[in-house]
Amino acid sequence: MLLAWGGLAAWQRHEYLHERELAQDTLHQQAHSVMYALVGGIRAHRRLGQFFEEQLQGALDELVKSQDVLAVTITDADAKVLLSAGKKNLLVASSADLAGDFWDPPGFRLVERFTLPPSHGGQGAGPGGGPPWGRGRRWRLEGNTDAESRFSAGGIFAATLLLDRTRADAQCRRAAWLRTWVVAASGLLLLCLALAWRATVRLAEAHGHARLLQSEARHLSELSQAAAGLAHETRNPLGLIRGWTQRLAQSGLDSPEQREQAQAIVEECDRLTARINQFLAFARPCQPRLESVNVYQVVDELAVLLEPDLDAKNLTLRRLRPTTNETIQADRELLRQALFNLLQNAVQFAPAGGTVEVSLRHAQDGSMRIEVSDRGAGVPDMAVDSLFTPYFTTRSDGTGLGLAIVRRIAIAHGWDAGYTPNPGGGSIFWLDRIHA
């Protein structure tokens, strides 16, 4: 497209130069036609003496009345002005010594030098029998002899003609504007075509990507449903195994080793059941039903559930309440699950005897932000980008689904979920862009 636009620009420039040349040639030919008539008239009628000069001056005055002729002068070999008419001041700087055509700021100047031979009378007797010094058929006005004419002696003369170049310049400017507009319009058109083509390509790529995502989403949904069904079918036999094992342990086994093995089976069943429950929670579709929820009421309920874990590490759950509204728009059960995962994560990483803080902050744009912070070791830099990835965990006994569930719930609500290092040490996990 750039090559096409460059070719068009070069073509338009060539057309403009051609039009300018035509306009200048027209003015050039006009000047030469006037000059040819002027010099031809001088050559043909100079024998009329002073009467001729008066007639020539009148002709020059009539000539400059034309809109195209600005000034005209006739000079002798010494550059002395013999006759002139029009705006003679425009020709002051014009030298008559050099013949040719010149494009001056005032106009187009044409200087032509011409030579006139001396004018002599005839020597033969006229047909009327007069004296031999008569001119025969030539007649002269009484008192106006050739000696009275400044052209009768002959010599080298120069005629200078100044034509108005306004119309030619205006024509050139119009041509320049027209060609410039054509080039600019074509460039804009090519730009629009390029943008349209680019948008079409991107739209096609977006449609293809969307179809691919839809296909992958359907595939993942089918896998999720299959995995959820498998997990559900696995949980039932686990419950049966746990129940029979616990019954055997309670009925009395012969050796302590058997009782320890039975207890280990029960614990592993509980661990697997907890992981299956977390997987089912992660695979379950999130469709929030929004309502007004008091954040700290949910936190108080969760504090009761987490009280054994808090007491085991001698932790304090501190609630930093805002001075204004504590209510947000959320699905209560989903918010409860997200806060439980964040609080449980903070309790597990907080040092013994420390504090876990929950705060609700108001942003300037009217949204709210929930933060859960601890004073633990924090998160290594290399693990920050993977924190909310399913099955990524930094704990040996972790499932890697807690934070993934938090982000899934946040996305379903239109919130943001993230991590920030605690300035005093530890971690801050937050839910942002929450509507009040």
What does the pLDDT look like over 207-249, one tens digit per residue? 998 888 888 777 767 767 777 777 767 777 888 888 888 887 7
Handedness of CA 204, 207, 213, 218 (dihedral sign): negative
Domain boundaries along the sequence of the chain: 2-118+148-164, 185-282, 287-434
Q: Report, as an integer, the average pLDDT of 144-170.
A: 74
The answer to which of 10-19, 155-164, 220-229 has the lowest mean pLDDT is 220-229
Q: Is the pLDDT of residue 138 over 60?
A: no
Q: Which helix (H) or strand (E) holds 102?
A: strand 100-103
What's the confidence (pLDDT) of residue 246? 81
What's the confidence (pLDDT) of residue 315? 94
DSSP type of residue 119: P
Handedness of CA 40, 41, 45, 50 (dihedral sign): negative
Strands in 304-422 per DSSP E: 316-320, 327-330, 355-362, 368-374, 416-421
What's the confidence (pLDDT) of residue 338? 93
CB atoms within 10 A of CB 65: 9
What's the confidence (pLDDT) of residue 363? 84
The whole-angstrom separation of Cα 140 and Cα 289 is 123
Q: What is the pLDDT of residues 377-407, one digit of tens each?
A: 888 888 888 888 888 887 766 677 889 889 9
pLDDT bucket at 127, cuts 50 / 70 / 90: very low
Phi, psi (degrees; rounded to nearest 5) at 82? -90, -50
231: tokens are 């997990």
More confident position, 50 or 172: 172
For domain 287-434, the CATH architecture is: 2-Layer Sandwich (3.30)
Q: Is the pLDDT of residue 97 over 60?
A: no
Strand 316-320 and strand 355-362: the pairing is parallel
The whole-angstrom separation of Cα 13 and Cα 19 is 10
Top mean pLDDT of 93-102, 133-142, 222-231, 339-348 is at 339-348
Q: What is the pLDDT of residues 339-370, one digit of tens each?
A: 999 999 999 999 999 999 999 988 888 889 99
pLDDT bucket at 331, cuts 50 / 70 / 90: very high
Q: pTM for the full model?
A: 0.49
Phi, psi (degrees; rounded to nearest 5) at 253? -100, 155
Q: What is the pLDDT of residues 254-287, one digit of tens each?
A: 778 887 888 888 888 888 887 787 777 777 777 8
Whole-number percent of the chain with pLDDT over 70: 88
What's the confidence (pLDDT) of residue 145? 44
Q: Which fold does the domain 2-118+148-164 belong to in CATH?
A: Beta-Lactamase (3.30.450)
425 Cβ contact list (under 8 Å, min separation 6): 375, 376, 377, 378
What's the confidence (pLDDT) of residue 123? 43
Amino acid at 271: R
Taking all residues of the chain, what is their mean pLDDT, rounded to a whole number? 81
Q: Report, as an integer, the average pLDDT of 25-33.
A: 84
More confident position, 139 or 71: 71
What's the confidence (pLDDT) of residue 158? 86
What's the confidence (pLDDT) of residue 140? 41
CA angle 418, 423, 428 (to 5 degrees): 25
pLDDT bucket at 133, cuts 50 / 70 / 90: very low
What's the confidence (pLDDT) of residue 129? 43
Handedness of CA 58, 27, 162, 115 (dihedral sign): negative
Class of domain 185-282: mainly alpha
DSSP type of residue 258: H
